[in-house]
Amino acid sequence: MNMQNLLEDIAGAVQSQLGQGQVADYIPQLATVDPYCFGISVATRDGEVYSAGDARTAFSIQSISKVFALALVLALDGEDIWKRVFREPSGNPFNSLIQLESEGGIPRNPFINAGAIVVTDRLLSMTGDAAGAVRGLMREETGNAGIDVDPRVAGSELGNSHRNASLAHFLASCGNLENPVEDVLDSYVKQCALAMSCEDLALATRFLASNGLRTDGTRLLSPAQTKRINAVMLTCGTYDAAGEFAYRVGLPGKSGVGGGIVAVVPDKCAISVWSPGLGRSGNSVAGVAALDEFTTRTGWSVF
């Protein structure tokens, strides 16, 4: 298989899907992005990178950051986080409030907003700078020291964060936050506002395709921890569309409302796609179509 040709074919095949869906506008700064962008990158386990389309354009990674925050917390703090967050699919939108009260302030999983806020809270306790820790991991795994928080996106989200603030206050009322709500929200919006390209994200996600080994050969996670993160990505990484994502793509994946998705082919490669038009559950329409095409044509799926 010629990977470069394949990615170019896929970029051609999804052209008709570009512009479909809605660009996220509840974070006003995200609505300024061109909905016709599309990029795809594959980073293999041994460090080769293949790309097509707008794969070098930086975009807002949003909820994709939740995977990296969780990986750091597991690496620094072991399994204790699972006392504060479940790992079941929620079947509800990523910013839903509804289960949190009936389940006593323990979020359904680390990839919905409530769960990610708890993970970021723990990372803040452990490092003093949660967004800085996620940014550091991204820079080290990619070798790109230019990766940074986009302050316009962070400010835009912080100014419109009543929903996440209510989740955080409810968590605090249940004793499930260690830090002040304002500090946790500030860290959370900054980690979500990291700007990265498909190439950066595919490289940064490679440890999940390498049994937890980092680019420099040191270990971030044990093979078992890596397996578990991938499992939670498969069941919860695309929210209330995780079943449809598994059906179409058949890989662990994590989406963000900036239109990016990362997916993992264990032992082979990490894939990143980006196109800003989102479907009803907040996943990139063309991005899911491209990943569907990729796994259908390569046969590289976990099923």
Which member of 121, 141, 150, 157 binds ligand GLN (CB under 6 A)? Answer: 157
Q: What is the 3-state secondary structure (H, E, C) of 86-149?
A: CCCCCCCCCCCCHHHHHCCCCCCCCCCHHHHHHHHHHHHHHHCCHHHHHHHHHHHHHCCCCCEE
Q: Which of 158/221 has CB closer to ligand GLN? A: 158
Contacts of 179 (CB under 8 A, 6+ apart): 121, 124, 125
Return the closest-CA partner of residue 116 out of 282, 254, 279. Answer: 254
Catalytic residue (choose from 51, 60, 63, 255)? 63
262 is catalytic: no
66 is catalytic: yes
83 is catalytic: no
63 is catalytic: yes
> What is the DSSP-derived secondary structure letter of residue 239?
G
Which member of 95, 99, 166, 281 binds ligand GLN (CB under 6 A)? Answer: 95
By CB under 6 A, the count of residues binding ligand GLN is 11
Alpha-carbon distance of 200 to 182, in angstroms, equals 29
Catalytic residue (choose from 156, 239, 265, 273)? 239
Assess 256 for contact with ligand GLN (CB under 6 A). yes
Footprint of ligand GLN on 16-35 (CB under 6 A):
none
Handedness of CA 285, 287, 288, 290 (dihedral sign): positive
Q: How many residues are given for the chain?
A: 303
How near is the Cβ of 257 to ligand GLN at its closest, in Å? 4
Q: List, by residue number, the catalytic residues.
A: 63, 66, 188, 239, 257
- In the complex, the residues that contact ligand GLN under the rule CB under 6 A are 62-63, 94-95, 113, 157, 164, 192, 256-257, 282
